[in-house]
């Protein structure tokens, strides 16, 4: 399974829509995307995971690494995720307390 990344601007934040599987093989693609965005001055990033079918520990590591990168610039990295199986991973690992997780992209526009 391949990983698709689509970047857009919403309300002053950069939204990266991710599709497919975030695993040991595809996670570097997401990491490089976040690294490039931060290098280009995007410090408020939202990862839209609505089309993500699978997430492993490597993917979680990339998300945490991205959070560290933007926080170094007083930025933020938030998630859009409404899939129970992915939300369970965030709860079990304690990362649900670390990331702001939105149920849909609609809640971004209202902030």
The residue that leads in pLDDT, 111 or 54, is 54
Average pLDDT for the chain: 95
Query: Measuring CA to CA, how many Å separate 21 from each of 18, 34, 49, 51, 71?
Result: 9, 16, 10, 9, 25
Nearest by Cα to 69 from 100, 108, 26, 39: 39
For residue range 70-110, what is the model confidence (pLDDT) as tens digits?
999 999 999 999 999 999 999 999 999 999 999 998 877 65
Give me the pLDDT at residue 106, please: 83
1 pLDDT higher than 70: no
């Amino acid at each position: 399974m391949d990983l698709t990344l689509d970047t857009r601007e919403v309300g002053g934040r950069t939204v990266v829509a991710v599709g497919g599987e975030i695993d040991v093989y595809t996670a570097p693609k997401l990491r490089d995307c976040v690294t490039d965005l931060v290098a280009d001055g995007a410090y408020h990033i939202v990862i839209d995971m609505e089309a993500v079918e699978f997430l492993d520990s490597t993917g979680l590591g990339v998300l945490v690494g991205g959070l560290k990168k933007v926080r170094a610039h007083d930025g933020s990295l938030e998630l859009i995720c409404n899939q129970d199986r992915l939300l369970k991973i965030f709860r079990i690992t304690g990362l649900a307390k670390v990331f702001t997780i939105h149920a849909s992209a609609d809640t971004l526009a209202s902030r």
